[in-house]
């Protein structure tokens, strides 16, 4: 019996012990997922941040050579004031996304906006994105929350694209008074199919790339 157990560990073709069948596939997968998740979250500095930092350094040097230190400090204080005004909105958007994640029922969201929701899910996501108020500080945390509670790639893409193209706030505040009713209505009517097509394409890409990678 010890020889059989040792043999199964070497060639991997026969597993007489059911305990090894239950434990061996789970432990490496669990360890790998636990190890990978912190890696992805704990990466505050990437290529994009390095590139932006280099641009900032070059811009500081150019401003300093042209306007001196006074020009640099004036821009710095202006940016700090802008950052102070934006920070509460960022905090509010992140809190909104966190509360939505806790409040929304996962099963209902998965049924309405999940991968099996079909065209109905894309239509719901498109309508939700069209009526979603606020700027990017609201839209993107809400989109992240929907992904967390069961919405799939396609529905979330449809929501973001709909918010970008159709968003009623911009239409009421800017398009109607400046460009007129006819232009606004035709622009919205032409834009409606785009989020649905983008969501359907997002589902195809997710199934073919991400799901296939998971199965392999």
DSSP H or E run through 129:
helix 118-131
d(C-alpha 20, C-alpha 39), whole Å: 29
Burial (Cβ within 10 Å: 0-12, 13-18, ≥19) of residue 133: exposed
Burial (Cβ within 10 Å: 0-12, 13-18, ≥19) of residue 129: buried
pLDDT tens digit sequence for 20-32: 444 444 444 444 4
Question: What is the band of 150 on the pLDDT scale with cuts at 50, 70, 90?
Answer: confident
By the 8 A CB rule, do 191 and 126 touch?
Answer: no
| pLDDT for 124 | 92
d(C-alpha 145, C-alpha 141), whole Å: 6
pLDDT tens digit sequence for 115-125: 888 899 999 99
Phi-psi region of 166 (alpha: psi -120 to 50; beta: other; left: phi over 0): alpha
By the 8 A CB rule, do 127 and 163 touch?
Answer: no
């Amino acid at each position: 019996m010890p020889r059989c157990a040792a043999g199964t560990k070497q060639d991997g073709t026969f597993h007489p012990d059911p305990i090894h069948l239950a434990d061996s596939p789970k432990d490496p997968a669990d360890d790998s997922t636990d190890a990978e998740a912190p890696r992805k979250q704990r990466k505050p500095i990437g290529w994009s941040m390095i590139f932006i930092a280099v641009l900032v350094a070059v811009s500081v040097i150019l401003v300093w050579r042209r306007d001196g230190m006074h020009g640099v400090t004036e821009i710095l204080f202006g940016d700090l004031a802008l950052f102070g005004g934006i920070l509460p909105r960022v905090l509010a958007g992140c809190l909104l996304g966190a509360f939505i994640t806790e409040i929304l029922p996962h099963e209902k969201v998965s049924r309405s906006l999940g991968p099996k929701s079909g065209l109905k899910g894309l239509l719901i996501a498109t309508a939700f994105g069209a009526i979603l108020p606020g700027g990017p500080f609201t839209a993107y945390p809400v989109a992240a929350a929907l992904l967390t509670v069961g919405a799939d790639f396609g529905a979330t893409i449809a929501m973001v694209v709909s918010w970008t193209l159709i968003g009623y706030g911009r239409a009421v505040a800017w398009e109607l008074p400046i460009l007129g009713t006819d232009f606004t209505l035709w622009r919205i009517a032409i834009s409606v199919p785009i989020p649905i097509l983008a969501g359907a394409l997002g589902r195809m890409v997710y199934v073919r790339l991400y799901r296939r990678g998971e199965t392999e």
